[in-house]
Amino acid sequence: MFIDLSIIKPGQKIFLCREGDITRYVSYVREIINRAIFVDLPEKKEGGPGSGKLFLSAGTSVRVQLPVLGSLYQFMGSVLQSGSHPDLTGISVPGRVERVEMRRFIRAKKMLRVQYAVLPDGEEPVYKYAESVNISAGGMHLTVSEYIGQGEQLVLNFIISQDNKYSSLKEITRVTRVIPAGEKDMFHIGVEFLNMKKNKFDFISKYVMKTIWAEAVL
């Protein structure tokens, strides 16, 4: 869909990450010129791998997430030459962007024991174990002990405890990001849930919000 940049105001929070990376950085919109957004130097505000600041050179592709008026717009943008704004990072906005429901991207830091398997072609899946770093209604970040390529489809089995009962979930996912975890043969991967039923989406959304609330009041 097309996004009218007039709905974006200076001071608006914006999230960025390098293409193929799972580390999100936060910044704030300072100026909008034509189809470009100029932001402060992005900084990492959450745990996980990556340095504290995100330095980007012209031509670098970045994934952008922009929450506006209850929706989340996301797109791949390209970093612009600094030009007349040497203290800001300029990012081009494409003609079409994706608009998604905000609940997909509200994440709770949660360690879950997960069984995963590369989606087999007519064979029984061979499961291995992984641990989640965080979870949202849109997907998970996992730590795995092998390299799994971006675009691979995985089947995940995991258990969530909510409302005094345990619920077992089995979901098909796609790997969206892969980065080394800093230890030999360990990787952080981001996966998105595919074709999740609405009742499961709502169930995980509720679980995420309860987890965030519980952490906030501790």
Domain count, the chain: 2
Chain position carrying tokens 């996912």: 173
Taken as a whole, the chain contains a residue count of 218
CATH number for the domain including 141?
A: 2.40.10.220
Residues 93 and 144 both lie in one domain? no
Q: How many C-beta atoms lie closer than 10 Å to residue 147's C-beta?
A: 11
Whether the pTM exceeds 0.75: the reply is no
Q: Residue 98 sits in which domain range? A: 5-105
DSSP 60: -
Q: 116 and 101 in one domain?
A: no
User: What dihedral do alpha carbons 19, 25, 28, 33 form, nearest 10°?
Assistant: -10
| Domain-ending residue, one of 51, 73, 105 | 105
From 105, 126, 154, give the residue that closes a domain. 105
**Are 123 and 211 in the same domain?**
yes
Provide the CA 134 distance to its chain's centre, in angstroms: 10
* Tens-level pLDDT at each residue, the chain (218 residues): 677 778 788 888 888 888 877 788 889 999 988 888 999 988 876 545 555 888 888 889 998 988 776 677 888 999 997 666 778 889 998 878 887 766 677 788 888 999 999 988 777 889 999 999 999 989 999 999 999 999 999 999 999 998 888 999 999 999 999 998 877 889 999 999 999 998 999 899 888 888 876 654 43
Residues 95, 121, single domain; the answer is no
